[in-house]
Amino acid sequence: MKTKIRWKPIIFSILLCWGVGGLASLLTLDGLKAFPMLAQPPLTPPQIVFPVVWTILLTLLGIGFGLAVSAPNTDPIDKERVITSFSVQLTFFFCWMIWFFGLGWYLFAAVWLVGLIVTILWMMGAFRKISILAFRLQIPYLLWCCFALYLNIGVWWLNR
């Protein structure tokens, strides 16, 4: 039996993720502009890649959350885990932007990014219980954040 996709929660979730990412970008605009002036580790992509990748990842995050939170016949405890883990993870993402770009606390931001990766794994586990598609849509986000950890540590090391 095919499940009907509930578009409103998905669209709302995408807009929420874009909003959080956009707000973090606005609050850290000076740091984002100064980022290219920092010494960069090898494998750092061109600057144009970052907003494109983050937009795609936040879209996938929103789709995954929308699918998981609106899945029919879901145990309320599982749904609460989805909402809690998603919220904590999104808060970690937002704060990482502030720590790294806004305040230039590169070492602290790297440690915080490890926490973000842990919260992504927690969220993925909650998603997986409800929707395997929602879970799979988070794999690129997890991988990019692991790559971001390498970049974050590299920026800290090269600019200390």
Contact assessment for residue 99 and residue 111, using Cβ atoms and an 8 Å cutoff: no
Residues 2-13 have pLDDT tens digits of 667 788 999 999
Residues 30-53 have pLDDT tens digits of 999 999 999 999 999 999 999 999
- Flag whether 37 is in a domain: no
Share of the chain above pLDDT 70, in %: 98
Separation CA 158–CA 160 (nearest Å): 6
- Flag whether 78 is in a domain: yes
Separation CA 35–CA 155 (nearest Å): 9
- Residues near 149 by beta carbon (within 8 Å), at least 6 away in sequence: 110, 113, 114, 117
Task: Give residue 106's domain range.
Answer: 7-31+45-158
- Flag whether 105 is in a domain: yes
- Flag whether 65 is in a domain: yes
- Flag whether 133 is in a domain: yes
- Flag whether 135 is in a domain: yes
pLDDT for residue 2: 63
- Flag whether 77 is in a domain: yes
The domain total for the chain is 1
Residues 68-127 have pLDDT tens digits of 999 988 899 999 999 999 999 999 999 999 999 999 999 999 999 999 999 999 999 999
- Flag whether 1 is in a domain: no
